[in-house]
């Protein structure tokens, strides 16, 4: 599929965009320990030297992404692609954080980021519905929105949206082809945007027991685990490093 999808495409005109957690790294109980697969990290280092643009689009902060992905040339768009929250958005997030912390059930944890926050309940799965009710009633609906993810509730400014960030990347850089990979509800709009492009594309989902199958309806390819994405990135690096289209060996 990789070879056919990129037929006739110049590596220098390819836009590659990837989520982080659940895509480049396995989901783990402590997000601070979610290291990227070594094969993925190595492939990204090769790809930034060959592709037109390689972007990590994540709910993580840019600081986290820099720590996990020390790759020169990698474009990091953390906090769901929002460049800079305004004062009102930051105040709304702080108010929500202060109201939520004393209400968190045992086993739940709040992770405040520069422009968003996440309520993790991986250690207390049954608390998910209660937490959603709390966030729904405490978040300022005029400034913030929230969504459930893989045993996490993500809260961000209403302007922060991965789909908007991906569309901005496409409109600004005008690539010949686009590859997007993700694994969670926040990636669904990106799947739909990528699969709807008239230019060559691949919308790639990474499956999990925590994500509903319908999340991947717009995907061209669904992989079983982040390690599979690492292997595909390595094949993409081989394609990009080949001397010419006739010699490229990405494989089917």
| Helix runs in 18-177, H state only | 38-47, 62-68, 87-100, 128-138, 162-173
pTM, rounded to two decimals:
0.85
Q: Which domains does the chain have, with CATH numbers?
A: 2-82+160-247 (3.40.50.1000), 87-157 (3.30.70.1020)
pLDDT in 10s for each residue of the chain, 252 residues: 788 899 999 999 999 999 999 999 999 888 889 999 999 999 999 999 999 999 999 999 899 999 999 999 999 999 899 877 899 999 999 999 999 999 999 999 999 988 889 999 999 999 999 999 999 999 999 999 998 988 999 999 988 899 999 999 999 999 999 999 999 999 999 999 999 999 999 999 999 998 899 999 999 999 999 999 999 999 999 999 997 643 444 444
Q: Which two tokens stand for residue 192?
A: 């739909």
With residue 136 as reference, give the H or E element that holds it: helix 128-138
pLDDT of residue 32: 87
């Amino acid at each position: 599929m990789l070879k056919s999808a990129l037929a006739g495409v110049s590596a220098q005109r390819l836009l590659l965009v990837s989520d982080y957690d659940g895509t480049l790294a396995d989901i783990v109980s402590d997000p601070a320990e979610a290291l990227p697969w070594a094969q993925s990290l190595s492939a990204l280092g090769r790809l930034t030297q060959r592709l037109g643009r390689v972007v990590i689009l994540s709910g993580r902060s840019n600081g986290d992404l820099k720590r996990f992905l020390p790759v020169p040339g990698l474009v990091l768009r953390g906090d769901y692609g929002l460049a800079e929250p305004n004062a009102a958005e930051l105040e709304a997030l702080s108010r929500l954080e202060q109201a939520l912390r004393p209400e968190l059930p045992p086993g739940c944890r709040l992770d405040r980021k520069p422009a968003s926050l996440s309520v993790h309940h991986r250690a207390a799965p049954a608390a998910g519905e209660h937490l959603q009710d709390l966030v729904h009633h405490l978040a300022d609906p005029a400034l913030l929105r929230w969504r459930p993810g893989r045993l996490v509730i993500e809260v961000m400014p209403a302007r922060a949206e991965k789909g908007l960030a991906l569309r901005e990347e496409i409109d600004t850089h005008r690539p010949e082809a686009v590859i997007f990979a993700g694994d969670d509800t926040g990636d669904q709009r990106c799947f739909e945007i990528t699969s709807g492009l008239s230019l060559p594309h691949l919308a790639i989902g990474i499956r999990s027991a925590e994500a509903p199958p319908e999340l991947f309806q717009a995907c061209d390819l669904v992989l079983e685990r982040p390690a599979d994405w690492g292997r595909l990135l390595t094949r993409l690096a081989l394609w990009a490093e080949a001397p010419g289209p006739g010699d490229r060996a990405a494989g089917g």
